[in-house]
Amino acid sequence: MAEYVKVLPEDLRKFTATCFMRYGVPPDDAELIADHLVLANLRGVDSHGVIRIPYYTEGVRKGLVKGKAEVRVINETETTALIDGGNYLGIPVATKATEIAISKAKSAGLAAVGARNLGHVGMLAYYTLRIAKNGLIGLVTVNAPARVAPWGGAQAMFGTNPISFAFPTSKKPVVVDMATSAIAAFKIRLAALKGEKIPEGIALTKDGRPTTDPKEAYDGILLPFGTYKGYAISLVVEILSAVLTGGILSKYVFNHPSTQGGFFVLTINPSRFREYDEYLRDIDALVNLIKACPPAQGFNEVLVPGEPEDRNYEERIRNGVPIDTSTWKLLVDVSKELGVELPKTI
Amino acid sequence: MAEYVKVLPEDLRKFTATCFMRYGVPPDDAELIADHLVLANLRGVDSHGVIRIPYYTEGVRKGLVKGKAEVRVINETETTALIDGGNYLGIPVATKATEIAISKAKSAGLAAVGARNLGHVGMLAYYTLRIAKNGLIGLVTVNAPARVAPWGGAQAMFGTNPISFAFPTSKKPVVVDMATSAIAAFKIRLAALKGEKIPEGIALTKDGRPTTDPKEAYDGILLPFGTYKGYAISLVVEILSAVLTGGILSKYVFNHPSTQGGFFVLTINPSRFREYDEYLRDIDALVNLIKACPPAQGFNEVLVPGEPEDRNYEERIRNGVPIDTSTWKLLVDVSKELGVELPKTI
């Protein structure tokens, strides 16, 4: 038995959009969510791909997030905006915040937009890539249900609190997108589904004992990446995402894969500092320097952040999206529940 | 023999300012540099304190940086500015950039200022603290002579590329200030001066062999903190500091403790998002949550970034600044060279 099935991205997108429309999500937003989740799968970020369909729809069913809501801009200046998402699914809310930040940075040079009261926003690179495609530098952060202890602490206080940056180049953007925990919580769930162990030194049981069992870790406490320095970055993410926006602190976010704290997006227009061509010339030179760096023992090459995901994308857009069998079973259930035809396997 | 001498901060400031004036630095800027370096010592960041006097003055003597120069704003909008430092000592240039960013964020809500062609800027917390004291959120980055390999690489490509954030609270600001290398290069030099070893796993010799010898590490290659995630942050710092500003890439910055690549400062006015009182209430609540976190095994308490430095400050402002004997010897030499009276030891 194959450990995965493969589907065409277009079929997967159609399936995903239809599922969300059945839940009352307006068609444009359902398409947006589908585009987002399938892009995550195409980039190999399967923890943030279509596996989220059953969780997001469960969130709607349980009343944790809404499948339809009014998204309001409650405070706005030339450079800033604050959005109340009305507890709508996070992807359309965060996309709106990002679009506002892009538009404002084009006119004002810089912009920062916060959003609160919204569901899970998915893969942060979705937003920063959109920013970079507009010739802007993007920073995006979000806080999430508490799973990570501060350095030296024995209680979960922060979400996995990811942070993403993207910088345009004349080829693919440089894209950083990483949890500030030593591992993403959903990757632990995925490891549990696949029956795999997690590395040492990244999680504690709920009693504070080190563990490599993904189930114990999922019920327990994660550690920040890079000890006290990762803790500091996690705290920065918490403040920008929740305190600046008036979003919910991670400790008080209801723990479900459909929920989120607050969302923060910052955009910088590099052409306000230098001629855009000069910026491109210099970032290209930096990327080339890094690619020319001789690899250390045990490595074949030096990668630029975003490069592994770009390679996954190239491969999967050509050959189809692999979906592991445990995720596929979840999609089969969703398909039955909603009467939506499954994407064809290839 | 004591391993350190102690001096009063005011005496140390006077000595420092006089040394720089002897090198032709205008009095106001000499006072500023003195204030900066002594604050670093007061905060316990001795690697960025008065030990820099002989190195900065050596830089001026060797023509690596200038003791007097015209600092020009070469590009300016309501939210952005780009500064050419004329290769002046970095602290006055970076302070000017920070002041512009503070002023613009007060009027425009957000600001970003870059500076290129400047000397070593010292301790980044100096700038972010200044921003936080104005009720603003600050982000500061700087790149530096190449010492750190990208993750998977065997050649130094980045400086220790520190990053600092500060957030105002109703008490002391939350202040992150950290190298994105696993250790600050100057702390290695300090370890060498003191004859101490450095921890494992943070540096390679120039031939790529792991080492705990600070001299080998100082001549060799440092590793980023937190493996590939710290590498990503180091790269972000490189792009913001050098590419966005047109500063020198770390690989091409002349390797001396008086030199620097480019400087980047971003300011955010939280009152453009919410009532400032609400912001303060929520960040205070977050800090209180963290302080109430039960400590993990081996820890006495959970610290908020900036807290150790604040405690050093309280202690040293009361009891004087300890200066280790090897640094003191350097100051004795400077004192003789310039005919400037040493601060009284207490």
pLDDT digits (tens, 9 = 90+) for A73-130: 999 999 999 999 999 999 999 999 999 999 999 999 999 999 999 999 999 999 999 9
**Position B193 in a domain:** no
Contacts of B249 in chain A (CB under 8 A): 282, 285-286, 289
pLDDT of residue B298: 82
Which range in A294-308, A330-344, B194-208 is most confidently predicted, on average pLDDT? A330-344
Q: Which residue type sits at B137?
A: I
Per-residue confidence (pLDDT) for residue A297, from 0 to 100: 79
Residue A301 in any domain: the answer is: no
CA distance B245 to chain A (A): 7
Q: Find the CATH number of the domain harbouring A92.
A: 3.30.1370.60
C-alpha dist (Å) from residue A346 to A8, A17, A85: 7, 20, 38
Mean pLDDT lowest among A104-108, A183-187, A322-326:
A183-187
B224 vs B200: CA distance, rounded Å: 13
Angle, CA of A244, A232 and A146, to the nearest 5°:
70
pTM for this entry: 0.96
pLDDT at A199 over 70: yes
The tens digit of pLDDT for each residue in B70-113 reads 999 999 999 999 999 999 999 999 999 999 999 999 999 999 99
Question: Are A159 and A148 spatial neighbours (Cβ–Cβ below 8 Å)?
Answer: yes
Helix (H) or strand (E) holding B7: strand B4-7
ipTM: 0.96
pLDDT range class, residue A2, cuts 50, 70, 90: low
B chain contacts of residue A151, beta-carbon cutoff 8 Å: 302-303
Identity of the residue in B152, B251, B283 whose CB atom sits nearest the CB atom of A295: B152
- For residue A88, give its domain range: 4-182+223-271+320-338
CA distances (Å), origin A342, targets A7, A49, B32: 10, 16, 68
CB contact under 8 A, B153 and A293: yes
Residue A343 lies in a domain: no
Local confidence band at A1 (pLDDT 50, 70, 90 cut-offs): very low
Quick one: pLDDT band at residue B39, thresholds 50, 70, 90? very high
- The answer to whether residue B216 sits within a structural domain is no
> pLDDT class for A251, splitting at 50, 70, 90?
very high
Average pLDDT estimate for B121-150: 97
**Position B144 in a domain:** yes
Q: How confident is the model at residue B2 (pLDDT cuts 50, 70, 90)?
A: low
- Å between B60 CA and nearest CA of chain A: 28
Kindly state whether B200 is in contact with chain A, defined as any CB-CB distance less than 8 angstroms: no
With beta carbons under 8 A apart, name residues in chain A contacting B303.
151-152
Q: Are B271 and B149 a contacting pair, CB within 8 Å?
A: no
Give chain B positions within 8 Å (CB) of A289. Answer: 157, 249, 251
Look at chain B and report how many structural domains it folds into. Answer: 1
Distance from CA of B326 to the nearest CA of A (A): 29
In a domain, A188, yes or no: no
Q: Is residue A52 one of the residues assigned to a domain?
A: yes
| Torsional sign, CA A130, A136, A137, A140 | negative
B/e letters for B95-115, b = 16+ CB within 10 Å, e = fewer, are bbbbbbbbebbeebbbbbbbb
Q: How far apart are CA A157 and CA B78, in angstroms?
A: 38
- Considering the domain boundaries, does residue B201 fall inside one? no
Instruction: Please report residues of B whose CB lies closer than 8 A to that of A299.
Output: 152-153
Residue of A231, A278, A290 with shortest CB distance to B246: A278
